[in-house]
């Protein structure tokens, strides 16, 4: 397995989207940056908010694209090209309709599952899907027609707390993931209900 070198959190830019469920991936990066006392700063060449940190002996690049979700690949591919990272060196955090709020799942590779941010990253990386995903559950509204409104709405207080708890649990398994022990990281994270 390729060592993870960059953590990317997907979302939409601007205050109107900041607190919406679709920004759960961005919330993960923001929470991790806060935990590391590292501010994210605008970085034009990576089309996003960026920071470089050393975490438990690992050099990591943190990025929240400031492009819209369906243009996330622009930010990811610019980071990949600049540092000459393979796609497999990325952990991409994103909201996931098929997982209940308050749960998070790690997954290596796979398709985009209809997620526009993942679709654009896969496309921008020449159809390379071999990156690790951190899927942060936001629940499904129950009807496909309600999905857009659901992901672009803010969760209630209790739901937001459950998502934040899942983010904290995800941060707690990062050391295992960075050591290359994805099986144990998944086992630990996936056991949280």
100 is a domain residue: yes
- Total count of domains within the chain: 1
166 is a domain residue: yes
41 is a domain residue: yes
The average pLDDT across 23-34 equals 97
Whether the pLDDT of residue 1 is over 80: the answer is no
What pLDDT is stored for residue 62 in this prediction?
A: 98
The average pLDDT across 21-42 equals 96
* Local confidence band at 3 (pLDDT 50, 70, 90 cut-offs): confident
Q: Among 161, 110, 166, 111, which residue's Cα sits nearest to residue 136?
A: 166
Choice between 135 and 108, residue whose per-residue pLDDT is larger? 135
49-96 tens-digit pLDDT: 999 999 999 999 999 999 999 999 999 999 999 999 999 999 999 999
Q: Which residue has the tokens 């990386």?
A: 125
Whether the pLDDT of residue 193 is over 80: the answer is no
What CATH number does residue 105 fall under? 3.40.50.1470
Dmax over Cα atoms in the chain, in whole Å?
46
- Residue of 19, 22, 112, 150 with catalytic role: 22
Asked whether 45 and 57 are in contact (CB, 8 A), the reply is no
154-168 tens-digit pLDDT: 999 999 999 999 999
81 is a domain residue: yes
* Local confidence band at 180 (pLDDT 50, 70, 90 cut-offs): confident
Structure-token pair, residue 113:
């599952």
The kind and range of the H/E element at 108 are strand 104-108
Sequence-ordered alpha helix ranges (H) in 56-180: 72-83, 116-124, 147-151, 157-178
3-state class percentages of the chain: helix first, strand second, coil last, to nearest 5: 45, 20, 35
What pLDDT is stored for residue 108 in this prediction?
A: 87
What pLDDT is stored for residue 47 in this prediction?
A: 96
Instruction: Give the separation between CA 90 and CA 59, rounded to whole angstroms.
Output: 13
* 19 classed as catalytic: no
Q: How far is CA 11 from the centre of its chain?
A: 8
155 is a domain residue: yes
Domain that holds residue 178: 6-190
- The model carries a pTM of 0.95
Q: Binding site residues, as ranges? A: 17, 68, 70, 116
118 is a domain residue: yes
1 is a domain residue: no
Q: Binding site residues for tRNA, as ranges? A: 17, 68, 70, 116
54 is a domain residue: yes
């Amino acid at each position: 397995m390729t060592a993870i070198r960059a953590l990317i959190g997907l979302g939409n830019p601007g205050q109107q989207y900041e607190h919406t469920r679709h920004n759960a991936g961005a919330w993960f990066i923001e929470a991790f940056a806060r935990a590391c006392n590292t501010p994210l700063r605008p970085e034009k060449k990576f089309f996003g908010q960026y920071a470089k940190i050393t975490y438990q002996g690992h050099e990591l690049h943190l990025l929240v694209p400031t492009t819209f979700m369906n243009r996330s690949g622009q930010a990811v591919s610019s980071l990949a090209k600049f540092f000459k990272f393979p796609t497999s060196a990325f952990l991409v955090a994103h909201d996931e309709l098929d997982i209940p709020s308050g749960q998070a799942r790690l997954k290596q590779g796979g398709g985009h599952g209809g997620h526009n941010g993942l679709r654009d990253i896969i496309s921008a990386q020449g159809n390379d899907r071999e990156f690790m995903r951190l899927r942060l559950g936001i629940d499904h509204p129950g009807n496909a027609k309600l999905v857009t409104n659901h992901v672009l709405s803010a969760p209630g207080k209790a739901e937001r707390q459950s998502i934040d708890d899942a983010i904290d649990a995800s941060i707690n398994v990062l050391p295992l993931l960075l050591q290359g022990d994805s099986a144990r990281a998944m086992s630990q994270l996936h056991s949280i209900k």
